[in-house]
Structure 1
Amino acid sequence: MKKKIHRYLNIAIAAVWMINGLYCKVLNGVPRHQQIVARILGADHAAMLTRTIGWLEVLMAAWVLSNVKSRWCALTQILLVATMNIIEFLLVPDLLLFGRINIVVAAFFIFIIYWNQFRFYGAKTIS
């Protein structure tokens, strides 16, 4: 049962990466993402950078689903989500879906990743 819940949570986590990467960024389903990239990294290459970030998020979804080096994957996700959201919180809060409250949503996502990998599924050493 525990393994099944862990798998379902992995699918949900991967879905977040896939939706944000493929739909929001690669397919430009949410243009606000490109505006965020333009404001932080510059408008000249914002479209290309946004698509690149989107494809990297798609790869993150694949990594989550692969269960390869899952603890390293979880740590990478936590660091990326924290870093991205702190930068956005400081530089572009007006472009975020929930403004500065977005940091709370990010913290919840980080908690789910952490809990799923290190508390719920097992607190083994990183391998």
Structure 2
Amino acid sequence: PTAALALLNDVQFVEAARSLATRVLTSEQTTDHDRLQLAFRLVVGREATAHELQRLQLGLAEDRADFATDDAAAKALISQGELAIPANVDPVELASWTVLANTLLNLDETLTKP
């Protein structure tokens, strides 16, 4: 449990998640479904199941709603670390996808790949 908290909150892991989120948001993918599949495939190395996609979509929608009403929280999250924030990416979207990317990076399947 302590390791999980460290991975979720450590600035290096948050910055890695933001980097992944930026990559996904600036990719050729334009729909949430395609972006979710891309993020999942990049991190886990396989296609997400329909159930996994549904869960990720629900989480993304919740994060969007939360950050849409708290712009300061979105900006605080995406300002962690040293990477520049892309000017052409909406802070609410980037923060929402950063949380999603952080979730993917902390999956047991991701951390314990053989």
Higher share in helix: 1
Instruction: Report which structure shows greater RCO (CA 8 Å, sep ≥6).
Output: 2
Q: What TM bracket, shorter-length normalisation?
A: 0.3 to 0.5
Normalization by structure 2: what TM-score? 0.34
